[in-house]
Amino acid sequence: MIRSVKPDVIIHTAAMTQVDQCETDRDLCWQVNVTGVEHIIAACAENHSHLIHVSTDFIFDGSHGPLDETAVPRPVNYYGESKLAGEQAVQKSKIHWAILRTVLVYGVTPDMSRSNIVLWVKKSLEDGKTIQVVNDQWRTPTLAEDLAQGCYRAAIKKATGIYHISGEEMMTPYDIAMATAEFFKLNKSLIKPATSATFRQPAMRPPKTGFIIEKARRELGYQPHSFQAGLALLATQLR
């Protein structure tokens, strides 16, 4: 396909991102998140395409945050290891590239084929379900349209290097759930705080990440929505 189209820029967003599945099906995870990236790098080299590669905050250990682009990666799960290996393959290549790392993306897809924390909380509360949500992990949740904006700006500028693309508000999943319930006027009493230790999951999660986005602001003109504005946009799309 790349030989046929000969694109000037490729924005590579595909990945295996189900963290627990990556932990238990490591071969498939590596094929998608590393070998797949190597194939795209080879195609970019052959066709002189500029690569915008999307990565994740899960390459970090979560010992502190928010993080800028100089932070040292130290993944705590196999998903993070695979995404870091994909980044390293891009960095070692001789192609022109930019790596855009992002955090906890939420939004609406046309076919609703994939959920995220905001949609899960909204549907659960609408169905009258009690939910447990962790309050000891911190992220800077990212509206899908903001990530798209970052990718677009990096593409039109043919930017090079690493950029952190996310929202700018540090929130726990519990904070996100409460804000979602408040916005959609749903029953907040159904949301119960929990610690990470409450859930038995195959993969560890980094406790605290989140991004400092000043480089993206300065070099790309990136400007994210506030979380409230992101919810408002999501609400109009759902209507």
Q: What is the mean pLDDT of residues 125-152?
A: 98
User: Mapping DSSP to helix (H, G, I), strand (E, B) and coil, where does residue 53 land?
Assistant: strand
**Residue-range domain boundaries for the chain:** 2-238
Q: How far apart are CA 7 and CA 4, in angstroms?
A: 9
Percentage of residues of the chain with pLDDT beyond 70: 99
Which residues are marked as active site?
79
CA angle, residues 69, 91, 42, in degrees to nearest 5: 145
For residue 111, is pLDDT > 80?
no
Q: How far is CA 81 from CA 21, 29, 33, 104, in A?
A: 14, 10, 10, 17
Residue-wise DSSP of 121-156: HHHHHHTT--EEEESS-BB--EEHHHHHHHHHHHHH
Instruction: Specify the pLDDT at position 115.
Output: 85
Instruction: Specify the pLDDT at position 218.
Output: 98
Q: What residues form DSSP beta bridges with 132?
A: 192
> Over the stretch 75-89, which tens digit does the pLDDT of each residue have?
999 999 999 999 999
Instruction: Specify the pLDDT at position 112.
Output: 66
Q: What is the mean pLDDT of residues 140-144?
A: 98
Neighbours of 163 (CB within 10 A): 25
Q: What is the mean pLDDT of the chain?
A: 97
For residue 155, is pLDDT > 70?
yes
Which superfamily does CATH assign the domain made up of 2-238 to? NAD(P)-binding Rossmann-like Domain (3.40.50.720)
For residue 150, is pLDDT > 90?
yes
Lowest mean pLDDT among 90-94, 108-112, 180-184, 220-224: 108-112
> Over the stretch 21-63, which tens digit does the pLDDT of each residue have?
999 999 999 999 999 999 999 999 999 999 999 999 999 999 9
